[in-house]
Amino acid sequence: MKPKIYPILIVMLLCVSTAMAQRTDILLNRNWMFRFSYQVQNGSGVQVNLPHTWNAGDALAAKPDYYRGMGNYTKKLHVPAEWKGKRLFLRFEGVNSVANLFVNQTHVGEHRGGYGAFVFDITDYVKYNADNILLVKVNNALQLDVMPLVGDFNFYGGIYRDVHLILTDPVHISLTDYASPGVYLIQDHVSKEQADVRARVVLSNHTDVVQAVRAQVTVRDGAKVVLQHSKELTIEGKATAIPEINLTLSKPHLWNGRKDPYIYKVEVKLLDKDGTALDSVEQPLGLRYFHVDADKGFFLNGEHLKLQGVCRHQDRAERGNALYLEHHDEDAAIIAEMGTNAIRLAHYPQADYFYGLMDKYGIVTWAEIPFIGPGGYQDRGFNDLPSFRENGRQQLIELIRQHYNHPSICFWGLFNELKTAGDNPTEYIRELNDLAHREDATRLTTAASFLGDGEVIGQITDLIAWNKYYGWYGGSFSDMGRWADNVHKNYPQYKIAVSEYGAGASIYHQQDSLKRVNATSYWHPENWQTAYHMGNWKVIAERPFIWGSFVWNMFDFGAAHRTEGDRPGINDKGLVTFDRTMKKDAFYFYKANWNKDEKFVYIAERRNVQRTHADTDITVFSNLSEVELIVNGRSLGKQKSDEYATFVWKSVRLTEGDNRIEARTSGGKQLYTDIVTWNLRD
């Protein structure tokens, strides 16, 4: 896939527009020159377009020592004379992991953290009616005071998300409040009868004099204006003001998850004393209320909702983490197709665009910072350094402020798989938990632990979840139920979830019988993953006190240090292959259980084409109630679905040579069929 290229004429018009008082946003993704910092020879750079990572080759070639160091990105930026009097900002959506910006060889600033957006004001650094040189020095090497320190995934280096040049009036809605939109729509109280919302707006005055302005908030239901309120105020010279405007909606249209993900549009406009528009920002407003009960689970708008979720990493084959919008669109569509109603976006803040997709699809979201422990690996996830602590606070504030207005986000995640040996993070987690509540009193905090059930580390956040792999890293599928029951019995106050559960699978690894797998081996047969998910989901589904569960993972992802599955360098626990071209059998098991709208029938173990056993069980997944199986033209009868959308015909006799297997069912007037051919050889 290629990035969308906007016509040059449109960009030129944007660049020379001086009559327009409101902000102008220009995408700066094209024609950067890139070189590694060790390439000091003149002319050693190559032209690249953003998003870009320098590790798409080596990290995805399973080199555990893929390059983690510094790269340089340079670009010419022409600044016309007509821009004098404007404020110029560079907004970076994501640079991994430490970025230093220079304009015309002068250092502007540094950002530490690879997953949040950041903004620099470059007004005082540019030359007008001239070409200016932008230099971004990017470093993805391990630094002991930048989260994350470890992780079971690739730390791709580069400017891997979009870069924007934004022009504003000197008096504007702030862009530099931790790169937030400058607008916070605080839902103080929401019910089916009434919604009370505070619009908090951060305003900046870069002039030397007091400015009289009016902040106006308009709420729209489609094209219809629902309400409009404004507040007049003055802003001191070289100062910031933060007015709040109260909004009340009667009988609000609620954001109700997958059933009805309704979103109001809120425009915040800044006007001068004469009524001329200086700036405007549009934000989503999805009104909803929710809570979690220790016995009954998650409730959205007063109704119980079993959160059936997945986890997602932001990389894919060939691209690494340098994704285009089309990639995010495709991922979200696949996730929604399966019937997913919740997602854990692990293990770091992901693209703001993707949170917006979760809003639109109605998928309840767990967003988290990259405070990651080593899990089963060596090294550590916490260093008790003042600079490390500060970096974690910074990244948490960025996460919350940048994504505050996304209605899909219900949970702020504070850590994953931390250990308490050595520098113990417990007290620091308490600090982060308090900070999260100060920043946002409307959402719940949570975390993903892998330590014992009674550990203090799991008792700090509002909710707690565990990463459990029963039936993959030892144990059996039924152990999930025994574990959950014990925790719920021994710690009835816990509000518990399963933050990760999963098993590896290669679509190229097929076996006639079901045999236990060595998780760290190069043999990951697909049918074991299917059996794993069938066994674990049944246990989870039967326990209402589990407020949510999140399959690890929706998609295969890069992990250069891994040596398992059908090739090194890949974590193949995804329900969909790394390139998104193949949905594994387990995907269709969940789709049959979770998606009751898109009718289908699916024959499992379809890729096990070369058969060695004449007698075989045939498993079919369907969200329809009855399926007929036909083998080599002969009907083996119809079956009713079991409780988990599964149909099994036992000991079906295949004939030597090709065997045509057909499953078919009708839904109303529509006939649904699935056909595979298996070949039996003695």
List residues with catalytic annotation: 417
CB 292 within 8 A of CB 444: yes
Is-cis flag, bond preceding 252, omega within 30? no
Q: Which of 265, 255, 282, 266 shows the shortest CA–CA distance to 362?
A: 255
Quote the CA–CA distance of 86 and 18 in Å, as a whole number.
Answer: 9
Locate tokens 């599928």: which residue?
477
Q: Where would I find the H helices in 116-197?
A: none
Residues 6+ away with beta carbon under 8 Å from 343: 309, 310, 311, 312, 335, 358, 363, 364, 365, 366, 550, 554
333 token code pair: 């569509």
**675 three-class SS:** strand
- β-strands 657-667, 670-680 pairing: antiparallel
What DSSP assignment string belongs to 211-264? EEEEEEEEEEETTEEEEEEEEEEEE-TTEEE--EEEEEEES---EEGGGEE--E
Token representation of residue 136: 């971004």
3-state class percentages of the chain: helix first, strand second, coil last, to nearest 5? 15, 40, 45
- Given a contact cutoff of 8 angstroms between Cβ atoms, the answer to whether 289 and 302 are in contact is yes
User: Closest Cα partner for 150 from 348, 342, 10, 310?
Assistant: 348
Q: What is the DSSP string of 324-393?
A: -HHHHHHHHHHHHHTT--EEEE-SS---HHHHHHHHHHT-EEEEE---B--TTSSS-S----HHHHHHHH
CA dihedral 473, 479, 480, 485 (to 10 degrees): -150
Taken in order 525, 526, 528, 532, the sign of the CA dihedral is positive
- Give the other-Cβ count within 10 Å of 188's Cβ: 13
